[in-house]
Homo-oligomer: A and B are copies of this chain.
Amino acid sequence: MNNYFSTRNTIREYSDAKVPKDLIDKIIRDAAQAPTTGNMQLYSVIITESRENKDLLAPLHFNQPACKNASLLLTFCADFNRFEKWCKFNNAIPGYRNFQSFISAILDVTIFAQQFNTIAELNGLGCCYLGTTTYNAPEIASLLKLPELVIPVITIAIGYPKNSVQEPTERLSIEAFVHNEFYKDYSKETIDRLYKEKENNPTNRKFVKENNKQTLAQVFTDIRYTKENNEIFSKLYFDFINKNGFNFPK
C-alpha cells in the first residue's frame, strides 16, 4: 500500500467498463471521513453519468480526452447553501457569505475530493483532475443547476484504466519545497540545481522543442498558463463567486 503512494499516476484513458454505482457510493462514504472544518462538510458532489450530460460538460473542459471517455465525471463544489439552509431552518442566523467561509469551503471540498481520488485509485480505478473547472465555472454551474453559495471547484474524471499504469510523473526533490523552522528563499543557483532534473527530463525537453521555446519555463508562461488567460479567468471566477453569494472585501 505504501508503494501505491510513491507510484500513483493520473489516468486519462479508460476502458468501456462502467464503474458500479455501489462502489462509487462506498468510496464517497469513506472519503467523507476525511477532515472537514468543524464537521460542517462544506461540499457537494454532482455525479454526471449520462452520455448527454457528459457531452454537454466536455466543451466546458476544452474537450480534454479524459473528459470524453470517462465512465463518470464528478464535479466537486464548495457548498454553503446546505449549511446556511440548515441554520435558517433552525432559528440560527448564518454569517457565511464572506471570504473566510469561502476559503473554509474550498479547503473542505479539496480535502474531500483528494480523499475520494486516493480511495478510488486504491480500488483500481483511474482518475484525472481536469483542472479546468474554475475557468468555465459559470457555464458548469448553469448546466448542473447549482444554486447560490455552491461553487464548482474540482472535476475528477473516473473509469477503469485502459492501459497498464505508466511510470510515476517526475517531481521536484523534497528539498525544493520543505523548509526547516523558517522559509529559506531561493537564489538563482539553488533554483538552477532544484529544477535541473526536470529541465533535462526527455518528455519536458520534447515539449520545449515542439513548441519552439528556449526554456521549459517558457512553455508554462507562453503556452500552458499565460498571463492573459489567467487574468481573463481570474475575473470570470472572482465575479462568479461574488455574484453567487460570497461577498469578498473591497
Contact = CB atoms under 8 A, between A and B. Distances in A.
Given A85-B186, A94-B221, 13 more contacts: A1-B1, A1-B122, A8-B34, A28-B178, A46-B179, A53-B181, A95-B231, A99-B234, A99-B238, A104-B134, A106-B106, A107-B154, A110-B110
A191 B179 CA distance: 45
A93 B227 contact: yes
Query: Taking the full assembly, how many copies of this chain does it contain?
Result: 2
Contacts of A172: 32, 41
Interface string A160-191: 00000000111110101111111101101001
Interface in A7-63: 7-8, 10, 25, 28-35, 37-41, 43-50, 53
A239 B250 CA distance: 9
Contact of A174 (B29, B38, B180): B29
Contacts of A5: 30-31, 33, 115, 119
A226 interface: yes
Contacts of A222: 92
B177 A45 contact: yes
A41 B169 CA distance: 12
Contact of A230 (B33, B95, B174, B225): B95
Contact of A181 (B43, B46, B188): B46
